Structure 1
Amino acid sequence: MINGVGGEIEYGETPEQAMSREFYEETGVHTSPEQWACYCVINRPDKYTVNFLVSIDNNVLIQETLKRKLWEYMKLIIYLTIPLIIYAGLYQCQ
Structure 2
Amino acid sequence: MMTSIEVSASPENVQWQSINWKAVKQHVLKLQMRIAKATREGKHGKAKALQWILTHSKSAKLLAVKRVSQNKGSKTPGVDGIIWNSDARCMTAV
TM-score by length of 1: 0.29
**Greater per-residue helix proportion:** 2
Give the TM-score taking structure 2 as reference length.
Answer: 0.29
Higher relative contact order, structure no. (Cα contacts within 8 Å, ≥ 6 residues apart): 2
